[in-house]
Amino acid sequence: MYSIDLILRDTPLPISVQRKEKVDAESLYQAIKGNLDSDSRELLELTCEKEEDKKIAILTERIVAVSLSKKTGGSARTPGFFALNQGSQE
């Protein structure tokens, strides 16, 4: 199972959908990444292959980052991103 995690502007938690096949996950990742470069305001509807009733619609202009990762059965990893800003300390 592959997880595509989205970080949205002004939203503290990531949004995740899963794909069973690597090629499908990579295709979705590339499509979302392509939207990061455009200035268009489109509605992107995503579905999840793990939870088939899970759907979400997102304005593409709200997406600030996308991540693709492989889910392992016993992983306790929290989806999303972590950034640490270390300014110069004097």
- Residue 65 in domain: yes
Q: How many CA atoms lie within 13 A of 3 on its CB side?
A: 18
Looking at the DSSP assignment, which residues form a beta bridge with residue 56?
A: 46
Spatial contact of 36 and 61, defined as CB atoms under 8 Å apart = no
Token representation of residue 36: 């990061």
Q: pLDDT per residue over 6-47, tens digit each? A: 999 998 889 999 999 999 999 999 999 988 888 778 899 999
| Residue 45 in domain | yes
Structure tokens at 31: 């499509």
- pLDDT tens digits for 44-89? 999 999 888 899 999 999 999 999 999 876 554 455 555 444 554 4
Give me the pLDDT at residue 87, please: 52
Running DSSP on this structure, what letter comes out for residue 15? E
Note the pTM of the prediction, 2 decimals: 0.74
As a whole number of angstroms, the distance between CA 47 and CA 43 comes to: 13
Q: Could you tell me the end-to-end alpha-carbon distance of the chain, in angstroms, rounded to an integer?
A: 46
pLDDT band, very low/low/confident/very high, at 90 (cuts 50, 70, 90): very low
Q: Is residue 10 part of a domain?
A: yes
Domain count of the chain? 1
Q: What range defines the domain where residue 29 resides?
A: 2-70
Supply the pLDDT for residue 73: 67
Residue 12: the pLDDT is: 87
